[in-house]
Amino acid sequence: MKEIWIPELNLLTNIPPVCLLYFFYGLAFLFLGVAIIVKDMRGSELKLANSLYLLAGFGFAHGAHEWLELYLLLQGRHISF
């Protein structure tokens, strides 16, 4: 009987550690935005409760920015300022 060769699937072997840093850093800010949006703050007595949507927007924007940087890093390009 002929053996069938099955390649090993290990997605993290060829990814530089800095890319993992960008991925999880961006993911943390996306989770920040989701955590704030999902929380019901209607009955809150917190003075900042009406402004927390701005922090959620920042979380989404910053997380998306980090993932864009990660995409460009993986493509071999970078953003120049």
Read off the pLDDT of residues 16-60 as tens digits, 9 standing for 90 and up: 788 889 999 999 999 999 999 999 888 888 888 889 999 999 999
Residue 79 predicted with pLDDT over 90: no
Question: How many other C-beta atoms lie within 10 A of the C-beta of residue 33?
Answer: 20
Using 50, 70 and 90 to split pLDDT, how confident is the model at 15? confident
Q: With 0-12 CB in 10 A as exposed, 13-18 as middle and 19+ as buried, what is 79?
A: exposed
Read off the pTM: 0.74
